[in-house]
Homo-oligomer: A and B are copies of this chain.
Amino acid sequence: MSHVSMNSHPAPRKVLIVGGGDGGVAREVLKHPEVEEVILCEIDEKVVEVCKKYFPSLTSSAFTNPKLKIIFADGLEFIRENTNKFDVIITDSSDNVGVATPLFGEEYYKLMKSALATGGVACSQGECFWLHSEFIAKMVTLCRDIFSVVDFAVCSMPTYPSGEQGFLLCSLDPLYEPRKLIRYCYQEAGT
């Protein structure tokens, strides 16, 4: 593994994942050796069960990592009970319909702000800029009323509609620059 800290931004130690029941985000987060504890809060136990069964060496390969704790609960209710606790909160939810809708609301973003530790960063499902640009603009405005720093990121995802997935990045640290690489973690396949 190659791991390089690019600047002095403190390394995250406690990470909360809301959703992400397939385990893929947890697997990536756990590649960073500084991370001491990951809580995965998934509302649907069946997702974890099915992914454990069918993707044990893929997305679900980190489910046996002792740093990972899986909780089956409503993400919004879970963060309501946690204050000043997490260095990073990653919301890996489904789209803004049905059970995931509260995770795109003002209350959830305010609760994330409370649940983050000093200087913490939240990264949330940000829909797709080709398909939901008006909704994204509304979300960015909502986030800017709550967080010091807000930005929008994208990654290429060929199996998603339009081939792009967006992310809302919010930080309590006014000096956080989302467009600057903070640390780089690369792990060879199979290691």
Contact = CB atoms under 8 A, between A and B. Distances in A.
B154 A163 contact: no
Nearest to A160: B163
A156 interface: yes
A162 interface: yes
Interface residues on A, range: under 10
In the assembly, how many copies of this chain are there? 2
Contacts of A163: 156-158, 162-164
A184 to B, nearest CB: 16
A156 B108 CA distance: 30
A130 to B, nearest CB: 5
Interface in A157-177: 157-158, 162-164
Nearest to A159: B162
Closest 5 CB pairs of A and B: A163-B163, A158-B162, A130-B158, A156-B164, A162-B163
14 contacts: A130-B156, A130-B158, A154-B156, A156-B156, A156-B162, A156-B163, A156-B164, A157-B163, A158-B162, A158-B163, A158-B164, A162-B163, A163-B163, A163-B164
